[in-house]
């Protein structure tokens, strides 16, 4: 039977009281998202040339293999992600962590190409895919009254990793080989997880609902529902557009008459801006409802795009990245809370795995589309405005599901 301790805790007056009362569960979700950074493109990209050289792959060959592994991990998230709806969280985390560390070992030690690529695939699947999925799903499912705040706290694990890991790696890159750096990071993460697995109070496995014949009742298939297709463009707008900006940042800085130093500063500012975005967004979800935040969370990025196009230069790039950080910080609490309201927390693992798979597919296609536009001579200002139009279309399509979530929230209150 699912424990209700986390779900029936009283309303938190502040983040401090929430963290103090539910530190163990929040720590599990937070560390899960922090661990997911090992499979993120920014982390692997720091070692791209070293990994490619060790595998005797050219830059183009590595890019093609990386794209194929990313697409494959998207399909596998669909299968493994939904299992969190009935597997005990502690067991699920242990399995994903074991596979992730096995991937690190294969990638860094195998002298053969296929096992090393298999290891890289495990790192992508279990890092970017399943660890991130686990942390967000756990927080979204185990909290009700404080769900927004909990998701806000947990989501900070990813930007904290982005802020910490890059400079730490830059510090040690001249002292250690790339394999030794991976081993050191993996050991630290393993020790943290060992403490969580042994000391933290884990929730029990979700209750499996069965019909009168004793057969397990299958959850909803969101891909067969109109509301899923109406809401998915809104949830994909931010990761798709940011992927394009990250991949083609050199073209963006040239067309906006900015410097690469301004872009690097903007990346740091984006990471910092995610903290107030996540914390304020989580609080506002609890106090004002997710439907209002779902309508507004892309507004900072949309405004930043308009200002960046109008202003250009270093200031325009900096404003663009800060606006992206604020919206990105709010996106995880908003989207996950919206999925819970629409499909129920008992099916969050399944629904969120479908959403995650779509995110992987869409971010894999975005660079190709933007690459053709840039090759065709389209200026990045026009591309940014195209991104704005895409977000506006996604917002319009999502209004009906958002109104449905608003009604469901109102009915639950009454």
What is the spatial distance between Cα 307 and Cα 319, in angstroms, rounded to a whole number?
7
The proportion of the chain whose per-residue pLDDT surpasses 90, expressed as a percent, equals: 43
* CB-CB contact of 385 with 305 (8 Å): yes
Asked whether the predicted pLDDT for residue 331 surpasses 80, the reply is: yes
Residue 195 pLDDT: 95
Asked whether the predicted pLDDT for residue 349 surpasses 60, the reply is: yes
Residue 3 pLDDT: 41
What is the spatial distance between Cα 218 and Cα 140, in angstroms, rounded to a whole number?
20
Q: 360 pLDDT band (50/70/90 cuts)? A: confident
Asked whether the predicted pLDDT for residue 352 surpasses 70, the reply is: yes
What tens digit of pLDDT does each residue of 297-329 get?
999 999 999 999 999 999 999 999 999 999 999
Asked whether the predicted pLDDT for residue 260 surpasses 90, the reply is: no
The proportion of the chain whose per-residue pLDDT surpasses 70, expressed as a percent, equals: 92
Across 45-49, 67-71, 211-215, 309-313, least confident range: 211-215
Residue 411 pLDDT: 60
Name, in order, each residue with C-beta under 8 angstroms of 389's C-beta and a sequence gap of 6 or more: none
Q: Do domains 15-199 and 222-413 have the same CATH topology?
A: yes
User: Mean pLDDT throughout 46-55?
Assistant: 85
Instruction: Report the chain's mean pLDDT, rounded to a whole number.
Output: 86
- Give the pair of three-digit tokens for residue 188: 């630290």
CATH number of 222-413: 1.20.1250.20
What is the spatial distance between Cα 345 and Cα 141, in angstroms, rounded to a whole number?
5
Residue 2 pLDDT: 42
What tens digit of pLDDT does each residue of 105-132 get?
999 998 899 999 999 999 999 998 899 9
Map out the domains of the chain as residue ranges.
Answer: 15-199, 222-413
| Exposure b/e, 72-89, CB count within 10 A at least 16 = b | ebbebbbebbbebbbbeb
Comparison of pLDDT for 354 and 300, the residue scoring more: 300
pTM, entire model:
0.84
Q: 335 pLDDT band (50/70/90 cuts)? A: very high
Asked whether the predicted pLDDT for residue 408 surpasses 80, the reply is: no
Q: Half-sphere exposure of 155 toward its Cβ, with a 13 Å CA cutoff?
A: 32
| Domain covering 15-199: architecture | Up-down Bundle (1.20)
Look at the block and give the residue holding tokens 């998202």: 33
Residue 1 pLDDT: 37
User: Mean pLDDT throughout 140-153?
Assistant: 88
C-alpha triplet 104, 105, 106: angle, nearest 5°? 95
Residue 119 pLDDT: 95
What is the spatial distance between Cα 400 and Cα 242, in angstroms, rounded to a whole number?
25
Q: 215 pLDDT band (50/70/90 cuts)? A: low
What tens digit of pLDDT does each residue of 3-28 get?
444 444 445 457 888 888 889 999 99
Count of H helices and E strands in the chain? Answer: 19, 0
Q: 208 pLDDT band (50/70/90 cuts)? A: low
């Amino acid at each position: 039977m699912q424990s209700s301790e986390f779900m029936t805790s009283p309303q938190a007056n502040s983040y401090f009281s929430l963290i103090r009362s539910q530190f163990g569960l929040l720590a599990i979700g937070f560390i899960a998202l922090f661990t997911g950074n090992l499979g993120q493109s920014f982390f692997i990209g720091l070692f791209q040339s070293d990994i490619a050289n060790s595998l005797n792959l050219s830059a183009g060959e590595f890019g093609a293999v990386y794209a194929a592994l990313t697409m494959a991990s998207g399909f596998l998230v669909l299968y493994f992600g939904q299992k969190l709806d009935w597997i005990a969280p502690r067991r699920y985390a242990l399995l994903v962590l074991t596979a992730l560390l096995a991937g690190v070992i294969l990638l860094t030690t195998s002298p053969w190409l296929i096992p090393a690529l298999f290891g890289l695939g495990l790192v992508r699947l279990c890092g970017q895919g399943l660890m991130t999925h686990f942390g967000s799903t756990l927080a979204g499912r185990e909290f009700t009254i404080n769900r927004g705040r909990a998701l806000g706290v947990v989501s900070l694990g990813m930007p904290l990793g982005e802020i910490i890991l890059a400079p730490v790696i830059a510090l040690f890159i001249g002292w250690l080989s790339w394999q030794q750096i991976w081993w050191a990071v993996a050991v630290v993460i393993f020790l943290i997880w060992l403490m969580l697995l042994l000391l933290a109070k884990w929730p029990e496995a979700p209750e499996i609902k069965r019909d009168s014949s004793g057969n397990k009742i299958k959850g909803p298939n969101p891909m067969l529902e109109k509301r899923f297709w109406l809401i998915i463009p809104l949830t994909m707008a931010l990761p798709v557009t940011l992927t394009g900006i990250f991949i083609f940042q050199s073209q963006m800085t040239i067309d906006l008459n900015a410097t690469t130093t301004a872009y690097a500063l903007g990346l740091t500012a984006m990471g910092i801006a995610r903290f107030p975005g996540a914390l304020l967004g989580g609080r506002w979800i609890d106090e004002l409802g997710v439907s209002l935040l779902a309508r507004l969370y892309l507004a900072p990025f949309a405004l930043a795009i308009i200002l960046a196009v109008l202003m250009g230069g270093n200031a325009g790039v900096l404003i663009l990245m800060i606006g992206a950080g604020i919206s990105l910080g709010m996106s995880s609490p908003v989207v996950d809370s919206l999925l819970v309201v629409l499909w129920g927390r008992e099916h969050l693992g399944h629904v969120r795995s479908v959403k995650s798979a779509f995110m992987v597919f869409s971010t894999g296609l975005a660079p190709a589309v933007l690459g053709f536009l840039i090759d065709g001579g389209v200026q990045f200002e026009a591309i940014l405005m195209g991104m704005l139009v895409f977000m506006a279309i996604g917002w319009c399509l999502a209004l009906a599901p958002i109104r449905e979530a608003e009604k469901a929230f109102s009915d639950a209150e009454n």
